[in-house]
């Protein structure tokens, strides 16, 4: 399935007034993981109150021990500080990487902004080396923009 083909489904989830925010976020994770073959773990991390750390939100995939991630640690922690997309084609070549599973080969993290502030991110792990393209980045930026509207 093409990434563009998922946009209407994302819009439908976002605009569904019957769902709680966490259910919407979970449904987005589920749609991405089920429809994009190389998205093997899809989840959201959000700034944990006033602390300089991220807290795991809804996700789909193997359970993770990384429920809290300090700013600066791992790919997610680096995005919390840099406010920029981070694409890792091969996690074995990344020094500041937190291994969630030995099967993970690549990762992409896109920040979520609300009123100009980085409040969280979408994090995607892949069991495929170097699967993410500019199209993934653009699509996930769209997803994050939509998500920011319900937070």
Dump pLDDT digits (tens) for 15-68.
999 999 999 999 999 999 999 999 999 999 999 999 999 999 999 999 999 999
Which domains, from first to last, does the chain contain? 3-148 (3.30.450.40)
The pLDDT value recorded for residue 101 is 78
74 φ/ψ sector (left φ>0, alpha ψ -120 to 50, else beta): left
Helix, strand counts (H, E) of the chain: 4, 6
Cα(86)–Cα(50) distance, integer angstroms: 23
Dump pLDDT digits (tens) for 87-125.
999 999 988 887 777 899 999 999 999 999 999 999 999
């Amino acid at each position: 399935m093409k990434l563009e083909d998922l946009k209407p489904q994302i819009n439908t989830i976002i605009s569904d007034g019957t769902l709680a925010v966490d259910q919407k976020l979970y449904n987005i994770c589920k749609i991405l993981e089920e429809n994009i073959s190389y998205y093997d773990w899809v989840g959201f991390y959000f700034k944990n109150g006033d602390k300089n750390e991220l807290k795991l939100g809804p996700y789909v995939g193997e359970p993770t021990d990384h429920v809290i991630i300090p700013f600066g640690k791992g790919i997610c922690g680096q995005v919390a500080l840099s406010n920029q997309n981070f694409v890792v084609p091969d996690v074995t070549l990344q020094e500041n990487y937190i291994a969630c599973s030995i099967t993970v080969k690549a990762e992409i993290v896109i920040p979520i902004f609300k009123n100009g502030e980085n409040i969280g991110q979408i994090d995607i792990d892949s069991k495929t080396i170097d699967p993410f393209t500019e199209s993934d980045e653009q699509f996930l930026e769209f997803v994050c923009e939509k998500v920011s509207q319900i937070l």
